[in-house]
Chains A and B, each alone.
Chain A
Amino acid sequence: MQISYENFEDVHLASSVSENILALRTLLGNTMDLNVMDIEINGVPCALITIENMVSASAMSELIFRPMMGLEGGEADTHEKIMDFITSRSLMTAERIMVYTFGETVLQLFSGFALIFVEGENTAAALGIQGYDKKSISSPTSENNVMGSQEAFAEVIRTNISLIRRRIKHPALRFEMTQTGKLSNTDVCIAYIRGKADEKMLAEIRRRISSIKLDSVFGAGYIRPFLEDDAAKRLFSEIGVTERPDKLCASLIEGRIAVLVDGTPFIMICPYTFAQYFSSMDDYASKSFFAWFLKFIRYFAFLLATAFPGIYLAAVNYNPEMLNMKLLANLSASEKTTILPLFSELIIIMLLLEIMREASIRLPSAVGTAMSIAGGLIIGDSAVKSGIISSPLLIIVGVTATASFVLPSFNQQTTALRLAFIMAGGFAGFFGITVCTVMSVANVCSQSFSNVVFTAPASPLIKDQLPNAFGRKSFMRMARDDTKMSDLTSPETPRRSGGR
């Protein structure tokens, strides 16, 4: 049997156990973690093949060895009877798949299945007895809540599927599994609720995932650009990401579609609107009036994090008459003590802020606290005392940094926009701020995903959905309304499906 990396997926299994084992060893390069156990049942040669540390030893002995050894001395004395026992007459494991090619064999082996070959059968039985080490369910790392669930998704896709299934106990919840990545063969699962999700959107997602030609897929970030429209040209993404099961299930019930990727706890939600980035599960645990207030705080924090330094720079340098006289006098006195112009101070301090932020992510948590104290207090205080920066500027930077932590999902966008606004305000005052704002808003307004406009429900105006964008609908009203994805679609937006 001629087998190689180019053709192994389509090469059919042979009837001879030894031939199959030889071909498998050749294909895997005699890898050290391939375990082959030859056994004989009533004179019929069989083999059990596993990958080391991928299967559970106890499950293997209880669910495979014990029943198989029970056949010895019995009536199963031909390969047909043995295979019939494994496939039809026993309940050895919950998952049982028949494999016919080496491609399927390798895929199931590396997914933690045990394969049983029987002499005379050109097929093999794959039994699911996964026992590899995995991280347990923990708290979310980036989407903390006060009163919501404290569970987060895990790295194993099947664990994540079970977390979703536990929360939506309805037969309309569907999961479709596929593999992506020529070398990694990563499991990717599409989750949706039939009747809520738009069928055309679903077909489009399937098409885009199947068109991915990467060698490896190790996280949601690999697949996300393929799901987006014009990913390189857009500031924001119309594909959201979450690690919270409760948030994902709420999105599924609204008619959105989830894409799960094995190996990452971050699940993609399609489509996502701009307003949704400002939502949190705490909104649904608070009173309605407080939820509205929290939404306002988040929108305001976003504006502070992006435009506040640029506007300050434009006002002080180009339109000082705008500022209150007392404030202007104080700012002027502070700026007189510094050696650099305001624009240079702002650029330097913003770059230092980004360096400290990046350092705090990479450092161990014990050192991170000390790093914050060193950076914030010592460096900042010393810089003001030595006249490198002014104290009002330190306040501006502090407010900006704090505001940016309100929306961690917007970290990339707020950083880029902040620097753009600083450049625009520094070089062209309020005209530059306006140009930057118009460009950003136009970029956001032109985004859509399969007829769902990114700026919905503000533009196009959808009055029913507006309370959720700027606050939260009351639960009484939510009970009356039946939300579907078609409520957010705009018929005028063309679907971009060609040329990808």
Chain B
Amino acid sequence: MKSISAYQFAGAMIVVRILALALYIPSEGENPVVTALALPILALAKYALLALTIRAYEKQTFTRGAAVCSAILAGALLISICGAFSQSVETVYPDRFSRLGITAVFFIIGAYVASMGAAGTVRTAGIFLFAAAIFSATLLFQTRGSMLTDRITLYSPSPLRDLESALRNLTAYSADVFIFAMMLPYVRSSPKKAAGIYLTADVLIWLVFAMAYAAIMGRLYPRSGYSFFAIAYCTQGLLIDRADGIFFCVVSAAAIIVCALLTGILKNAMKYVFTSIRSDEKTYLSAAGVLTAAAISLSGFGIELSKYAGVLAAAVWIALAVYALTGIFSRKYRAAKNTEAEKEGE
């Protein structure tokens, strides 16, 4: 295998996305029966929707309307992920980092990494996947269960409900299906097979994550991001104690790579829409600048996009699917009309 296949790409995207999303703060108050069934139902729904999107994409060229939809979605997700990550970092390290500073750095660094091209970004993700696996294994190996009791009081008294809520929110509002659908034009392989592998691995990894999570902690915690830090804070090694700094590096890298992928999508969509922009670097910097300004402005008005990311993503996807389906039907209609006209001409 001499090139990055959709499988490798999907594998890198899954773990990177999981680590980045691990710092999301899920909402509360769902019905436990529904949330317990949510995982398999949503996985099937996602697969059905993704298959429909792929079918529509195969029939429809990437028009300006689809580019606008992709740009809006990528921009919204970018602001959402950067905002959520920086908010979590500010909460965990309030004396060291500020939210706006980290958000701005994320946009600019994401733009730089995205300027290396899709292949370069995905190779970077693959390399970091390997490093993240080693760090995570080291963390788990060095975790001291005897230190966990000190951290338990920080968390919820109803951990099972909180875990179900976290799983449902992460699968329902996770951006992976939309990210993958938008990356399809840039992934050279069988898109349907890749989508199937991607979603299967997605479900499996989430199941493994939930099991490991429960087994290590003894009980389950609502704030998945904070629990990772809690685990990292319970390590004790010969040279390195409290490994939360190392874990922070891993999740930062994952978040930057996700931002880079989204910035790449945004750049391609913007370039398609505003075809007068010829310089890639200017496009990237423009995108970073616009998003920074948007994030700062929205924060100033008290609007947190991370809350509405799922709704926004679903709305844009529906618009994209409707647009694509409309294009298919209108093309069939026009083709049928042309055939009739030719027959009459003969």
| Per-position 1/0 for B107-123, Cβ under 8 A of A | 00100110011011101
Q: Does A461 contact B (CB under 8 A)?
A: yes
Question: A322-B245, A437-B253 are contacts. A431–B97 as well, Cβ < 8 Å?
Answer: yes
B116 touches A446 (CB 8 A): yes
Instruction: Indicate whether B248 reaches chain A with its CB closer than 8 angstroms.
Output: yes
CA distance A442 to B128 in the complex (A): 10
Identify which of residues 453-500 in chain A touch chain B, using a CB-to-CB cut-off of 8 Å: 453, 455, 458-462, 487-493
Cross-interface CB contact of A431 among B2, B3, B123, B248, cutoff 8 Å: B248
The reply to whether B1 and A462 contact each other, CB–CB distance below 8 Å, is: yes
State whether A430 and B123 are in contact (beta carbons under 8 Å apart), knowing that A435-B105, A439-B112, A460-B1 are contacts in the complex: no
Contact A430 B1 (CB under 8 A): no
Residue in A closest to B188 when the chains form the complex, CB atoms: A492
Does chain A have a CB within 8 A of B271? Answer: no
Which listed residue (B1, B245, B248, B253) contacts A438, Cβ 8 A? B253
* Least CB separation from B97: chain A residue: A431
A315 touches B245 (CB 8 A): yes
Instruction: Verify B123–A324 contact, CB threshold 8 A.
Output: no
Question: Which residues from 308 to 339 on chain A have a C-beta closer than 8 Å to any C-beta of chain B?
Answer: 314-315, 318-319, 321-325, 327
* B309 within 8 A of partner (CB): no
A430, A442, A490, A493: the one within 8 Å of B245 (CB): A430
The number of A-B residue pairs with CB atoms under 8 Å apart is: 125
The verdict on A267 contacting chain B, using a C-beta distance below 8 Å, is no
Answer whether A492 and B243 are a contact pair too, CB < 8 Å, given A434-B249, A442-B120, A460-B123: no
- A461 & B8 in contact (Cβ 8 Å cutoff): yes
Residue total for B at the interface (Cβ-Cβ under 8 A):
40
For B188, list chain A residues within 8 Å (CB).
492
The yes or no answer to B239 lying at the interface (CB within 8 A) is yes
- Contact (A459, B1) CB under 8 Å given A325-B241, A438-B253: no
B131 to chain A, nearest CB (A): 9
Minimum CB–CB distance from B144 to chain A (whole Å) comes to 14
Report yes or no: A445 in contact with B124, Cβ–Cβ below 8 A.
yes
With known contacts A324-B241, A429-B96, A431-B89, A455–B123 Cβ distance under 8 A: yes
Chain A neighbourhood of B97, CB < 8 A: 428, 431
Majority secondary structure, A binding face: helix
- Do B1 and A324 have beta carbons less than 8 Å apart? no
Which residues on the A side are within 8 Å of B124 (C-beta)? 438, 441-442, 445
Within 8 A of A (CB), among B252-269: 252-253, 256-257, 260
Find B2's partner among A315, A428, A460 (CB 8 Å cutoff): A460
Mark A336-352 against chain B: 1 for CB-CB distance below 8 A, else 0: 00000000000000000
Are A461's CB and B127's CB within 8 A?
Answer: no
Cβ distance A380 to chain B, nearest Cβ, rounded Å? 25
A61 at the interface (CB under 8 A from B): no
CB A163 to nearest CB in B, in angstroms, measures 33
**Interface residues on chain A, size class:** 35 or more
A15 to chain B, nearest CB (A): 57
Tell me the complex Cα distance, A441–B105, Å: 17
Q: Tell whether B238 is near chain A: CB-to-CB under 8 Å.
A: yes
Say whether A253 faces chain B, with CB atoms less than 8 Å apart: no
Given the contacts A324-B238, A439-B112, A442-B260, A455 and B117 also touching, CB distance less than 8 Å: no
**Which residue, B128, B240, B249, has most C-beta atoms of chain A within 10 A?**
B249
Whether a CB of chain A sits under 8 angstroms from the CB of B4 is: yes
A428-B89 Cα distance, complex, nearest whole Å: 13
Measured between C-beta atoms, what is the minimum distance from B175 to chain A in Å? 20
CB <8 Å contact, B116 and A430? no
A323 near B117 with CB under 8 A, answer: no
Please name the residue on chain B nearest to A314 by beta carbon.
Answer: B245
The reply on B310 being an interface residue by CB < 8 A is: no
B120 touches A445 (CB 8 A): yes
Contact B252 A435 (CB under 8 A): yes
Q: In the complex, A491 Cα to B4 Cα: how many Å?
A: 10
Among the listed A314, A434, A487, A492, which residue makes an inter-chain contact with B3, where contact means beta carbons less than 8 Å apart? A492
Residue A127 CB within 8 A of the other chain: no
Query: Are B253 and A460 in touch, CB under 8 angstroms?
Result: no
How far in angstroms is the closest Cβ of chain A from B5? 9
- Do B2 and A491 touch across chains, with their CB atoms under 8 A apart? yes
Known: A445-B116, A445-B124. A438 touches B109 (CB 8 A): yes
Chain A residues contacting B239 (CB-CB under 8 Å) are 323-324, 327
In the complex, what distance in Å separates the CA atom of A314 from the CA atom of B112?
23
A434 and B245 within 8 A (CB) = no
Instruction: Confirm or deny: B102 has a beta carbon within 8 angstroms of a beta carbon on chain A.
Output: yes
Given A429-B96, A430-B245, A439-B113, decide whether A459 and B253 contact each other with a Cβ distance below 8 A. Answer: no
The listed residue with most A CB atoms (<10 A of its CB), out of B102, B123, B126, B127, is B123
| Shortest distance between the CB of A270 and any CB in chain B (Å) | 19
Q: Do B242 and A322 touch (CB < 8 A)? A: yes
Cβ of B1: which chain A residues have Cβ within 8 Å of it? 460-462
For the complex, give the distance between the alpha carbons of A417 and B120 in Å.
19
Residue in B1, B109, B127, B245 whose Cβ sees the most chain A Cβ within 10 Å: B245
Contact, CB under 8 Å: A490 / B3: yes
Per-residue contact bits, chain B 206-249, to A (CB 8 Å; 1 contact, 0 not) = 00000000000000000000000000000000111111111011
Within A418-452, the residues touching B (CB, 8 Å) are 428-431, 433-435, 437-439, 441-443, 445-447
Chain B neighbourhood of A322, CB < 8 A = 240-246
A490 CA / B123 CA spacing, docked (Å): 12
Q: Please report which residues of chain A, range 357-414, place their CB below 8 angstroms from some CB of chain B when the two chains form the complex.
A: none
Pair A318/B96 contact, Cβ less than 8 Å: yes
Q: Would B2 and A442 count as touching, CB distance under 8 A?
A: no
In the docked arrangement, what's the CA distance between A489 and B3, Å? 8
Q: Hey, which chain B residues are within 8 Å of A324, CB to CB?
A: 238-241
Collect the chain B residues with CB atoms within 8 Å of residue A447's CB: 120
Minimal Cβ-Cβ distance residue in B for A445? B123
Known contacts A322-B245, A324-B240, A453-B123; A434 and B256 CB within 8 A of each other: yes
**Inter-chain contacts of A325 with B (CB < 8 A):** 241
CB-defined contacts of B109 to chain A, threshold 8 Å: 435, 438-439
Return chain B residues, CB-CB under 8 Å to A437.
Answer: 249, 253
Q: A422 to B4: give the CA distance in the assembly, Å.
A: 33
- What's the least CB distance linking B124 to chain A, in Å? 5
A438 and B257: CB pair below 8 A?
Answer: yes
- Bound complex: CA A453 to CA B260 (Å): 20
Q: Are A493 and B119 in contact (CB under 8 A)?
A: yes
CB–CB B121/A442 < 8 A: yes
Least CB distance from B285 to A in Å reads 14
* 20 pairs, A vs B, C-beta closer than 8 Å: A314-B245, A318-B245, A321-B242, A322-B242, A322-B245, A324-B238, A430-B246, A430-B249, A431-B97, A433-B249, A435-B105, A435-B252, A437-B253, A439-B112, A442-B116, A445-B119, A446-B116, A461-B126, A491-B2, A492-B119
Q: Top 7 nearest A-B pairs by Cβ distance?
A: A446-B120, A446-B116, A319-B245, A445-B123, A459-B123, A434-B252, A442-B113
A sample of 6 more A-B contacts (CB under 8 A), given A319-B245, A442-B260, A488-B2, is A431-B248, A434-B249, A442-B116, A460-B2, A487-B2, A490-B3
